[in-house]
Every structure is written in structure tokens, then in C-alpha cells.
Amino acid sequence: MDLTTPPTPAQRTWTTPDVFWPSLSAATTRLDPALAVLHLPALRHNTHDMLRRAGGKPIRVASKSVRVRSVLDAVLALPGYAGVLAYTLPEALWLAEGDAEHPPIEDVVVGYPTADRGAIARLAHSPELAARVTLMVDSIAHLDFIDAVVPPAERERIRVCLELDSSWDAPVLGHIGVFRSPLHTVEQVRAVAEEIVRRPGFELVGMMGYEAQIAGQGDNPTGRPAWGATLRWVQKNSQDELLARRGEAVAAVRALADLEFVNGGGTGSLEFTGRDDSVTEIAAGSGLFGGHLFDTYRGFRPAPAASFALSVVRRPSPDIATLLGGGWIASGPPGTDRMPKVVWPTGLSMVDREMAGEVQTPLTGAAASVMRIGDRVWLRHTKSGELSEHVDVFHLVDVVDGRATVVGETPSYRGEGKVFL
């Protein structure tokens, strides 16, 4: 999979939906749904546009939002991308080991603390893995846990990254963001950093802070202008507060340890995080596949590189067409914005009382009345990771001589027999 060259204007067919979606149907006509596709020109566009938005700051690929090893390999081959932010330690070890088809990824940071004793033991007893994988910690209890699994004298030195809470404690509104690290103040961060540096068997190599209230929240929700204005006010004030606090926290830790990296951000905040002088790299992944979550952002619009098709299998009434499957729901607060979005044919919508279900998704609307058994409907996922967990392979579609063509397929983690979480 070569992502080196951005797409030509003729390959940017996603800008014309009534060409793009029928072209995917024509290209995959011999394949039976449920099926997922990766549109390679759109993926190339997204990889290069994310680099542009990052403003020269390296991007660490968030694997949770991809879960396809060939895509990780292809993205990491591009200048400007460096390293992976994994979501579990077993996944990180698998990526760091590599195999005959996939080279070892030599810089993997686990984005969340781990309590996996078996995986910690594997890491601790392997010089190669211990040099490639960095664990996330945000408390002394995490250090105690690791020491209890393998004492310092019996293991390799464990690389660790310290996570700063990047949420905003807003006046009146209170906590805005996600509940991750308990380390919010400079003093709290410094205290844990001092303990890491003091303890044998650990090496403090990085810091991380994920500003979810900025990166993961679209600032232009459809049909809700007042709420959009509120979100933009929250994000502006949160940015100002975080720039000062993160800068102070990083400086405090750098006085104690020679940090290799300071990670921040996400697909939705590439521009903001890229301007933060205290951050050396940005984590991003969802923007590669371009889920419909990003339709609610004002500043950018990734191409729909990944999508999936389901079949009509029932006509329970003249005005309803029912798909087999469809409940491929993204993480986060339950709501319609976490559900797949029906994009083709136009004029279709989910039934309010049923929505997207594990085994079926009834659709209504003008187009539903003319659909037949076996017709296919194209949908877009909300984020990215949920799509890869539901399919074994992605069919690769390229635009060759002006025509969308299936040029191969590539397995997801699931297709390689891996389900990490």
C-alpha cells in the first residue's frame, strides 16, 4: 500500500457524492455485503492533509482508530509520521515484535495504563521489547503494580510516560473533558515524576496529555447553532488554560528527566496542538479513515476513506427497507451521533424506535420504497476503530484510468486473529 503521492484531481471523486458512492457499488458489485472498503485516493488525501494541519510537528499514529497493520506500515513510511500510540500492552508487544510481512514498530507508546500481568512480564524479560515499548502511568500505584509483577532487579528497565490531565476545570461548569489521569496540577505531576526518577527499574522518557474537549468534540453540530457557539467558547477558554498549565508541567518534569517526547492532541486539534511549543508530537488516527464524526468540525473535513455496505434483506412494509446488521456503534455517550450514517442512496433514514441494530437496521424515506431485496446501502462509521472490529478485511479501491477498481484487500486486526479489547 503506497500512500506517498497525494491523489490527482480526477481521483478526488468523494467531492461528488453522486459519482463516488455509485462508483464504489460498481467496483464491488461481485462482492457480497457486509463489506468494508478503503478508498486509497481518499486515504492518501487524509494522510497528507493531516501532515499539513500539524504544521511540521510529527504525528504519532493512534492505532485504536485504525486497527489495520498494513495501514500503520504505510502511514509510518511517510516523512512526518513517527511511532504508534497503542491502546493495550498486548497490542503494543505484537506491533513491536513484527513478523515476516510487517517490520517491527520500534517506538510504541501504550496510551493507557495496564494491569495485564502476563504482558508486563513479557515486556520486562525482553531487551528488544523493553527498548521499543513505553508504558503509561499516572500514579505511584502503577509503579507499585509493575514492581509487584517483576521486581526491578529481575527485569529490564521499564520505559514510562507520565500522563497529565488535560481537561478544563471551568468556573461554574466544573470538569470539562474526559476522566483520565488524576494529575491535573503542576505540583501533582512533579511529585509522581520525582518518584519515577527515584525508583530503580524505571526510566521516565515522555509525557502525554489528551485534550478531548478540544480534539474530540466537533464545534459545529448540525442544527444546533447555540450549542455550537457554546462549544467554541468552551474550547477557546480551555485552550488558553491548557497552554499555560501544560507548558509549566512539562518544564517541571524536564527539570527532573531528559524527556524524549511530549505527546498531545488528536485529529480534531492538530492545528492547536501543533502551535503548543511544549508539545513535541501529536497523536492522531481517526482522521486517516475519516469517519462522519468530523462532519461537525468547522476547520477541516477529511475524505470518507473507509466505508461499509450492507444488503437489503427485508421489506416489512412498502415504505421500509431493512438491512442485515448495522449496529456498529462508536464509543462515547449513547446517541445518534455514535451510530453509522446512511449515505447512499440518499433519501434514507433510520427508524426512530429501532435505529441501528446488531442484526437489522430498518430504513425509511423516499428511496426505501423503491429498494429491492439484495440492493446495497453505503454507510459511514462515526470514528474508526469500531469499523475494523466488525470486518476481517478491507477491500482496497483505487481510481485507475478514471474508474474505481478493487485492487486488493488487507486484513484488519480481527482478520489476523487479534482482538485486544
Neighbour tally for 319: CB within 10 Å: 12
pLDDT at 223: 79
Task: Name residue, grid cell 507499585.
Answer: 144
pLDDT along the chain (421 residues), means of 10: 94 96 97 97 98 96 97 98 98 97 97 98 98 98 98 98 93 87 97 98 97 82 82 85 95 98 94 94 96 90 97 97 95 87 96 94 96 97 92 97 96 96 87
Angstrom distance (rounded) from CA 228 to CA 240? 19
Residues of the chain with CATH 3.20.20.10: 66-283
Residues of the chain with CATH 2.40.37.20: 7-38+299-414
Q: Tell whether domain 66-283 is in CATH 3.20.20.10.
A: yes
pLDDT at 257: 98
pLDDT at 343: 97
pLDDT at 161: 98
HSE of 346, CA atoms in CB hemisphere, 13 A: 6
pLDDT at 336: 86
pLDDT at 393: 98
7-38+299-414: CATH homologous superfamily?
D-serine dehydratase-like domain (2.40.37.20)
pLDDT at 3: 96
Joined together, the cell numbers standing for residue 36 give 468494508
